[in-house]
Chain A
Amino acid sequence: MEANEGEWGERVIVEREHFPCLLTSLQARGYQVVGPTVREQAIVYDTLNSVEDLPIGYADEQDGGSYRLKKREDAALFGYAVGPHSWKQLLHPPVLRLWSAQRDGNHVQLAPEEDHPPKWAFLGVRSCELHAMAIQDRVFLHTAFIDPVYQARRAEVCIIAVNCGQAGGTCFCVSMQTGPRAHSGFDLALTEVVEPSRHFFLVERGSPLGAELLQEIPHRPASEKEIAQAEQVVAETAAHMGRTMDTTEIKDLLYRHARHPRWDDVASRCLTCGNCTMVCPTCFCTTVHDTTDVTGEHAERWRTWDSCFTLDFSSLVGGSVRTSSRSRYRQWMTHKLASWIDQFGTSGCVGCGRCITWCPVGIDITEEVSAIRASETATQESGGER
């Protein structure tokens, strides 16, 4: 699935009228296409049966604690940023039975679970989301243990990426160097260009599968002008990011400031609701719990998403290590932006802005970093020691 500059990098044009062929091509190969669709006034990921299921002509307005859909003046298929869903809910399922056990006296029979997900094609994957998947790959595939469910689902998925034509109100992928342009990790990457007189997609092949799919969609080589137009779209997006984050030596910055008063400040606002961890495309924490039937003869172990914001996340005999909301917010943010780097070699944040949008009180991770950084600069300027 890796892009290979040169052989795969050749770009072609697919006209809007031929876009449905992409879906038919995928469906003909047995893929269940999952992509953005409007539901309950948000753009979420769900099964798509036809192009009409896409949020055609929709845009979103996002800010801290705020999300609204609005109608565009054009009929762009991908004219919005990301919504509350991410692809992790499919690759790293929120609820999963791990095994079941049947007891007969002192005899126990263990039955491992078999995972049978559909053959998925993800349509409309943003660059930040590709990076999020690569980040989760490092968690589940590249350490001493491998998560077999994640591994199997990840390997089977076909990815149709979309280069963002619309910067989100809370986006900062440019700061995190995760977009808006997708460079690798896709089978096909699309850049949508909508003009009054024309509506087309610049398409980049990213893999043999992508090339195969493209064979069944009417296309022709892209002209220099068309390439420039597509690049302009992406450049515009990059220039209109809703947020920025200075990531200079951010790991040391946050490690150094475990006792910063800003944590008390954010704690006075944070409800520890855990929304941020649910919508974050890289958060991966889970918990397990055992269930049994009334007779005690049948037991199951289930794995479900968990959040470091819960009070008993860090529980030990005698109490939890992190009881204050201050410590739990600090844990989440420090992990995401700092410890993650030591653990997995990259930042845990892709700048998608979901945590900002979906926080009920609008806590903004970029603002929190700025505040801590600013206090250091202020101290340096005043010559004092904090």
Chain B
Amino acid sequence: MTQTLTPILAAHPFFHGFDARTLDLVAGCARNVQFEREHYLFHEGEAANAFYLIRSGKVALETSAAPHRPVIIETIEPNEVLGWSWLFPPYRWHFTARAIEPVHALLLDGACLRAKGEADHDLGYELVRRAAQILMQRLQATRLQLLDMYYVDTD
């Protein structure tokens, strides 16, 4: 079963450049998942143990904004990745994720990835390095969103 997932892993941009052996190793933590429209991948506060590689569909990251309706702060789309909370304790989700289009994804088990990373530090380093790179891009993008750059005071 894991062997058929290796090529899918290899096709995802996050894992470009990994050798076959490492991919097989990681594939051991992976399984195919899918979510129907309006179904939740996870809720804020739940135990975070997954790293998602989105293959198709669209995921909305949202947060409750009571007394207002929840606000979508980001959408994650095909060839992107979702989930960092598995990297560091307390391993809890910071946002809620909902499929707003039917989603096909590869789910990588967080504990499994952490264990393999501890055992093989080269793998561990590479995983964290790539995660950091994407986190940096997301941070930059989020900062731009924070700036509310299209806002003009029309009063």
Contact = CB atoms under 8 A, between A and B. Distances in A.
Contacts, number: 3
A94 to B, nearest CB: 34
Nearest to B153: A318
Contacts of A318: 152-153
A257 to B, nearest CB: 29
Q: For this complex, into which size category does the number of interface residues on chain A fall?
A: under 10
A318 B154 CA distance: 10
A317 interface: yes
A317 B153 CA distance: 8
Nearest to B152: A317
Interface residues of B, number: 2
Contacts of B152: 317-318
Nearest to B151: A318
B80 to A, nearest CB: 32
3 contacts: A317-B152, A318-B152, A318-B153
Contacts of B153: 318
A318 B153 CA distance: 7
Interface string B18-29: 000000000000
B60 to A, nearest CB: 30
B154 to A, nearest CB: 9
A321 to B, nearest CB: 16
Nearest to B154: A317
Interface string B125-155: 0000000000000000000000000001100
Interface in A296-349: 317-318
Contacts of A317: 152
Nearest to A318: B152
B146 to A, nearest CB: 17
A317 B149 CA distance: 13
Nearest to A319: B153
A317 B152 CA distance: 8
A317 B151 CA distance: 11
B150 to A, nearest CB: 11
Interface string B34-67: 0000000000000000000000000000000000
